Amino acid sequence: MTAAPAATGTAIGMSGLTVRFTTRRSQTTALDDVSLDIEPGEFVTIVGPSGCGKSTLLKIVAGLVKPTSGAVSLLQRPVRGPQKEIGFVFQKAALLEWRGARANILLQAEMRGMDRAQAARRADELIEMTGLTGFEKALPHELSGGMQQRVALCRALLHSPPVLLMDEPFGALDALTREQMNAELHRIWRETGSTVVLVTHSIAEAVFLGTRVVVMSPRPGRIIRTFPVELPAHRDYAQVMSDPRFDRLATDLRGLLGSAAANH
Amino acid sequence: MTENSLDTSGRHAAADQASTERAGASANAPGSADSPAHVDSSVPSRVAAPPPGGAGRPPRPTLGRRAAAFADSLWRPGLVLAAVFAVWWFVAAREYVPNYLVPTPGQVWETMTGQWSELARHTVVTLYETVLGFLLAAAFGLATAVAIAYSRTLDKALYPIVLFAQVIPKIAIAPLLVVWFGLGLTPKVILAVLIAFFPVVISGVAGLRSTDPELLDLAATMGAGPWRTFRKIRFPNALPHLMAGLKVAVTLAVVGAVVGEFVGASEGLGYVLLLANGNLDAPLLFADLILMSAIGIVLFVLVEIAEALLIPWHASRRAGVSLTTS
């Protein structure tokens, strides 16, 4: 599909994003002056301790949360209000429990008023691609956590969004399923060429998937550093895990995150 | 029941099995079509029936099985009822209590069959008032719930009024309604609506507010308007709560109709009850009570059936047969 936008200009531009929550007693700064430009086709992973505002950052890009100050642009257009050119995947699969897997994927099409036949074809492609064949009619409670998250991923990809935002999508999965999903997501990204921003707690996940890893500090969330990931574009899970470059980067990240937490 | 819960676990097994297979397929060389579908031998073979890849759902229970399940759900309450009946019959037949206070089941039966056409006419009147009241209460209740759930202003404006309307003893305003609207259908229906309205509103608001905020965020990124979001996400999501409220409402609607008849009527089961009471006609009184209860039970069961058809997917209904996937 025509997922990749023209290779000119940034896919996502964030400048000076600051978010403050005011409660009756105090004011909390969730994000503090975050600026980040993401090129089309990049896979940016954001790691940081819990509560550093990573999820808020994604929601700002999606137009679901308004920053206190700063500006975001998506595909070179300023973000004001919810964005349609994205696919969003949450930590929970957030499926409609009365719909089967395929119908859940097609929710995307119904809500957007997409062409039915075309959407159905695309849904079948995605079902095939993510190995959900045979479970088209299974209700969410009949699916394992990994399968549910696959359905959520298919739903986010149905309209071939140029930008995919993922908020700890595999955080609730067991380690084995998670590795498998990582490998699948990598393959899907290679096939679609979308721009992906993925928030995670897992250093291994961040390094394996990312073309760039962004490290954030504990609250108030700031970008401490960004690391380019010097691994081949096409990655095999087992190979990457035994690659010395992977080890080095993972160690660096662990050290950085550890000291960030210690300074807090 | 046990049959179906087994099915569910069976599907889980099938799902896990397929995902492990996939894991195997992506790790090893693909195309190992002969990779055996490892099925735990302790799982009944019927459950293991879906082919590798897990196509198809488990077979629907046969008519015989469903009948058996129905009978299974009936024998316990049936036994209790029979026991109550036996005690009644024993007490009445031995005249521990005089028959003009507690008639024998035989006397009640005779009254019921003897005056059947009269009783049927009055039953239809009460049933009509109840159903009309219930449907109106459901419609108004749902509309109010939507208004409250969607608008903060309306929430603040309407909720206190709804609550106030609920704490007024509605039975006490029945005479007023009769004064205003006469002895006909209207005051009974209004009373039924007033009584049945509250549970619908409360359950509707609870249901509409229980939507996962992430689903609403998702709907926003899908560019859907409020109507689509309501139709595809919020309303179906509210149905389990709403159905629970409707079940309460339908039984209350009977109370409303009967109380309305108490206060002033020329027909209906409430009217017959007062008449029987005045004449110390205990068999008629008992027959009348049985018919009133029957109305409540039948309507309740109808709402239950509607629930089973509307939300077969819900946890409270998973024992039922799945009817839809869309």
Contact present, B242 and B276 (Cβ < 8 Å): no
> By CA distance, what is B28's nearest residue in A?
A238
What confidence score (pLDDT) does residue B322 get? 41
pLDDT tens digits, one per residue of A101-118: 999 999 988 888 888 898
Residue matched to tokens 């895990």: A241
Per-residue confidence at A4, pLDDT binned at 50, 70, 90?
very low
From B11, B218, B315, residue closest to A94, measured CB to CB? B218
Show residues of chain A in contact with B16, CB under 8 Å: 144
* Distance of residue A52 Cα from the nearest chain B Cα, in angstroms: 19
Instruction: With beta carbons under 8 A apart, name residues in chain A contacting B4.
Output: none
Provide the pLDDT for residue B316.
67
State whether residue A110 sits within 8 Å of chain B by CB. Answer: yes
With 70 as the cut, is the pLDDT of residue A6 above it?
Answer: no
Q: H or E stretch including B147?
A: helix B116-150
pLDDT of amino acid A46? 92
- Find the mean pLDDT for residues A2-22: 71
Look at chain A and count its residues: 264
pLDDT score at B321? 43
Residue A133 forms contact with B (CB below 8 Å)? yes
How distant is the alpha carbon of residue B30 from its chain centre? 51
Residues 6+ apart with CB under 8 A from B12: A142, A144
∠ Cα A201 A248 A191 (to 5°): 60
Say yes or no: A213 contacts chain B, CB-CB below 8 A.
Answer: no
Taking any CB pair shorter than 8 Å as contact, residues of chain B touching chain A are 8, 11-12, 15-16, 18-19, 22-23, 26, 50, 53-57, 212, 214-215, 217-224, 228-229, 232-233, 236-237, 311, 313-315, 318, 322, 324-326
pLDDT digits (tens, 9 = 90+) for A131-149: 888 888 888 888 888 889 8
User: What integer pLDDT is reported at residue A28 of this predicted model?
Assistant: 82
Closest CA to B183 of B119, B129, B131: B129
Q: Are the C-beta atoms of B182 and B175 separated by less than 8 Å?
A: no
What integer pLDDT is reported at residue B234 of this predicted model?
Answer: 92
State the greatest distance between any 2 C-alpha atoms of chain B, in Å, as a whole number.
89
Nearest CA in chain B to A94: B215
Q: Distance from B142 to chain A by nearest Cα, in Å?
A: 21
Alpha-carbon gap, residue B74 to B72, rounded angstroms: 5
Residues 6+ apart with CB under 8 A from B226: B150
B232 to A64: CB separation less than 8 angstroms, yes or no: no
Tell me the one-letter amino acid at A247. Answer: D
Cα distance between residue B211 and residue B213, in whole Å: 6
Burial class (CB in 10 A: 0-12, 13-18, 19+), B142: buried
pLDDT along chain B (326 residues), means of 10: 42 45 42 40 38 46 75 85 90 85 88 91 94 96 92 87 86 89 90 93 92 89 87 91 93 93 89 91 92 93 90 68 38
| Residues of B with Cβ-Cβ distance to A84 under 8 angstroms | 221-223
What 3-state class would DSSP assign to A71? strand
Read off the pLDDT of each residue in A72-93 and give the average, rounded to a whole number: 86
Contacts of A104 in chain B (CB under 8 A): none
Hey, which residues does A46 pair with through a beta bridge?
A199, A214
Among A35-39, A56-60, A203-207, B268-272, top mean pLDDT goes to B268-272
Rounded Cα distance between B305 and A130, Å, is: 37
The crossing angle, in degrees rounded to 10, of helices B116-150 and B282-310 is: 40
Buried b (16+ CB within 10 A) or exposed e, A182-219: bbbbbebbeebebbbbbbbebbbbbbbbbbbbbbbbbb
The confidence band for A7, taking pLDDT boundaries of 50, 70 and 90, is: very low
- pLDDT at position A8 is 58
Using a pLDDT cut of 90, give the percent of chain A over it. 11
**Is residue A5 scored above 70 in pLDDT?**
no
Higher pLDDT, A28 or B31: A28
Query: With an 8 Å Cβ cutoff, are A135 and B326 in contact?
Result: no
Give the pLDDT score at B324: 37
pTM for the whole structure:
0.76
Chain A / chain B CB contacts < 8 angstroms: 109
Give the model's confidence band at A239: pLDDT under 50 very low, under 70 low, under 90 confident, else very high. confident
Tell me, what DSSP letter sits at residue A63?
Answer: T
From CA A200, how far away is CA A55, in angstroms rounded? 9
* A161-184: average pLDDT: 86
Q: What is the rounded distance in angstroms from the CA atom of residue B192 to the CA atom of residue A15? A: 61
Q: Which of B214, B223, B315 is nearest residue A90 as measured by Cβ atoms?
A: B214
Q: List CB contacts of B268: < 8 A, sequence separation 6 or more.
A: B122, B125, B126, B129, B188, B257, B258, B261
